[in-house]
Amino acid sequence: MRPQELGAVGRGLGLLADTWTLLILQRAFLGVSRYAGWRETLNISDATLSARLRGLVDAGLLEPRSYADGGRERRGYALTERGGDIWKLLICTWDWEKTWVPREVPLPEIVHRDCGRPTRVRVCCAACGGAVGPRDTEVEREPWAPGLDRLARRHPRRTRGALPVDPLSFLPGAMEIIGDRWGAAVLGAALTGIRAFNCFALELAISPEVLSDRLRRFVALGVLSRSGDGEYRLTDKGRASFPIHACLVEWSHRWCGGDGAPIDLTIRHRACGQPLCVRLDCEQCGRAFARDSVSPVRPR
């Protein structure tokens, strides 16, 4: 039997659901373009940083860009269109962390440059402008995650306890839910309505050990709760991570759907029937965010 082709969302997950990958891209959005910049702001080893930068260039998310340094030419990196297109995912990640994860040093506010105000995100459907949450959408899926395990693990697992130096990139809660492939797949499956251990195992073709580990971590993090009947249900905190997953699915459709990769999972907005394309509106002025119209303001 021919092995099942890994679909677009499975591929997208394999590319993006990795803590260091996401943090390196986040720093790129914050203006980092040189090796030393990542090295200084993320508490990352040379080996890990080099491997990730190579991987990001291979995947077409960053591209090499040389710059002059005292007469010497050095190599820097710039976001490609493909890499830059994850901006919505990063904003939703930020917004979720800020809302749901208490911390000693507060995560800075997002400021909308168009209105100049610190603001929060309102998630809408780009096609009809209607509100979007997991209950306003329906999911069509083919078997999408089987095959995830066939993606070679390109990177060693992130060392626990290694934390970014700069609080702007300290997103421990969000990285639990989106910073590893299996965790992101488990929560994504929960958002499509799966609750029972066996159903997760079947849907994701995931080993029981890995599944138990992720479910336990999600219960500890408060995104899932285990009910008396042994099922795992999303809490409000878990349900609120929906926009992050919706952005991941949208990005995967756009950037990983070529080369014969089947569309394995589609989120449809019930109100208009269209595949969900997320629009992020400013809660203060109501206008839609653009990629370069938001930036964090550091706490004083």
Applying CB under 5 A, among 57, 128, 201, 288 the residue interacting with Zn ion is: 128
Structural tokens at position 49: 């940083």
Applying CB under 5 A, among 127, 151, 199, 288 the residue interacting with Zn ion is: 127
Interaction between residue 177 and Zn ion (CB under 5 A): no
Applying CB under 5 A, among 43, 212, 235, 284 the residue interacting with Zn ion is: 284
Site residues (CB under 5 A) for Zn ion, limited to 129-148 = 130
The CA distance from 98 to 175, in Å, is 13
**Which one, 77 or 94, has the nearer CB to Zn ion?**
94
CA-based R_g, the chain, Å? 19
Q: Is the separation of the CB atoms in 219 and 226 below 8 Å?
A: yes
Structural tokens at position 140: 């069509």
- Least separation in angstroms between residue 256's CB and Zn ion is 23
The CA distance from 90 to 243, in Å, is 10
Question: How crowded is residue 197: how many other Cβ atoms within 10 Å of its Cβ?
Answer: 16
Interaction between residue 285 and Zn ion (CB under 5 A): yes
- Least separation in angstroms between residue 276's CB and Zn ion is 7
- Least separation in angstroms between residue 136's CB and Zn ion is 8
Fill in the per-residue mask, 60 to 99: x = in contact with Zn ion (CB under 5 A), - = not in contact: ----------------------------------------
Going by their DSSP bridges, the two strands 62-69 and 72-79 should be labelled as antiparallel
Q: Is the separation of the CB atoms in 76 and 33 below 8 Å?
A: yes
Applying CB under 5 A, among 52, 88, 112, 181 the residue interacting with Zn ion is: 112
The CA distance from 233 to 190, in Å, is 7
Interaction between residue 36 and Zn ion (CB under 5 A): no
- Least separation in angstroms between residue 138's CB and Zn ion is 12
**Which one, 211 or 276, has the nearer CB to Zn ion?**
276
The CA distance from 160 to 167, in Å, is 17
The CA distance from 99 to 237, in Å, is 9
Interaction between residue 122 and Zn ion (CB under 5 A): no
Q: If you ran DSSP here, which 8-state letter would residue 268 be given?
A: E
Q: Is the separation of the CB atoms in 121 and 92 below 8 Å?
A: yes
Q: If you write DSSP's letter for every residue of 131-143 in order, what string do you get? A: B--GGGEEEEE-S
Fill in the per-residue mask, 243 to 272: x = in contact with Zn ion (CB under 5 A), - = not in contact: --------------------------x-xx
The CA distance from 107 to 101, in Å, is 10
- Least separation in angstroms between residue 116's CB and Zn ion is 8
The CA distance from 300 to 294, in Å, is 18
Interaction between residue 125 and Zn ion (CB under 5 A): yes
- Least separation in angstroms between residue 254's CB and Zn ion is 17
Applying CB under 5 A, among 49, 51, 57, 115 the residue interacting with Zn ion is: 115
The CA distance from 118 to 294, in Å, is 9
- Which region, judged by CB under 5 A, interacts with Zn ion, from 2-10, 197-205, 250-258, 283-291? 283-291
Number of residues that bind Zn ion (CB under 5 A): 12
**Which one, 106 or 130, has the nearer CB to Zn ion?**
130
- Which region, judged by CB under 5 A, interacts with Zn ion, from 86-94, 105-113, 221-229, 236-244? 105-113
Secondary structure (3-state) at 262: coil
List contacts with Zn ion (CB under 5 A): 112, 115, 125, 127-128, 130, 269, 271-272, 282, 284-285
